[in-house]
Amino acid sequence: MTVAHYLVEGSTALITMDDGKANALSAAMIAELADALARAEKEASAVVLAGRPDRFCAGFDLRVMMTSPEAARALLGSGADLLMRFYGSPVPIVAACTGHALAGGALVLLTADVRVGAAGAFRIGLNEVAIGMPVPVLAMELARGRLAPTELGRATLGAQIYDPEGAARVGFLDEVLASGDVLARAMEEAARLGALSRTAYHATKRRLRGKAIQHILSTLDQDMLSIAAGN
């Protein structure tokens, strides 16, 4: 079953996550998103990443995470590679946040260049500490780079969960609209960004995020071992 659907509209690639459930970052979802991103970087000038109605992304698949430390590390490793590909992609990435985005789902938002969210009773944030897991270096560095400095402690140490308006206030989202307007607005913003010089956009993104990406990837293995050991 396809869980990441791909469509090109004009010069924008629309990638839609839909596993029929909560859009967890399963091995299948991660692989299909990676393939879709690679295709988009060849065929399109910008990407819109969307979820299904009321669900953007639930984060890493807990069924796999609870199977064994080895399974958890494998899933986190492939997921981290995908997140860094989104974060450093040469094409603009616009997230159409259609609903809940927790833990790894919130990280997907933090990797996007522009984030348009749906208004509603949705939960967005990094809940790792609340479920007994340290916030990984990957998540901490993405949060440090995208969230308001005054909110960083609450969002990570405090495992604060936000509604869409609060998420926009602290930096998980850039704007909040009625749910029916989110995708069209994301496509509009992707078209605007996609019209910019790709060379200049990518070079600027490397200057903005390159050091963080290098740090995250260089510490990933040790950090996952530390988390598996409960540290």
Q: What is the mean pLDDT of the chain?
A: 95
Statement: residue 215 has pLDDT above 90: yes
Tens-digit pLDDT profile for residues 103-153: 999 999 999 999 999 999 999 999 999 988 899 999 999 999 999 999 999
pLDDT at residue 183 tops 90: yes
Across 68-217, the runs of DSSP E, i.e. the strands, are: 93-97, 99-102, 114-118, 124-125, 161-162, 175-177
Segment 33-75, tens digit of pLDDT: 999 999 999 999 999 999 999 999 999 887 887 788 788 888 8
CA distance 65 to 213: 24
User: Does residue 66 contact residue 110 with C-beta atoms inside 8 Å?
Assistant: no
DSSP 113-146: SEEEEE-SS--EE--TGGGT-PPPHHHHHHHHHH
Model pLDDT, residue 16: 98
Q: Residue 15 forms beta bridges with which residues?
A: 6, 49
User: Looking at residue 230, what is its pLDDT?
Assistant: 65
What does the alpha-carbon distance between residue 222 and residue 80 come to, in Å, rounded to a whole number?
Answer: 13
Judge whether 121 and 94 are in contact, CB under 8 Å: no
Mean pLDDT confidence for 170-194: 98
Whether 27 and 3 have beta carbons less than 8 Å apart is answered as no
CA 223: distance to chain centroid?
19
- The CATH T-level fold of domain 4-194 is 2-enoyl-CoA Hydratase; Chain A, domain 1 (3.90.226)
Does residue 230 or residue 24 have the better pLDDT?
A: 24
- Structural domain spans, the chain: 4-194
Asked if pLDDT for residue 225 goes beyond 90, the answer is: no
Distance of alpha carbon 193 from alpha carbon 201, whole angstroms: 9
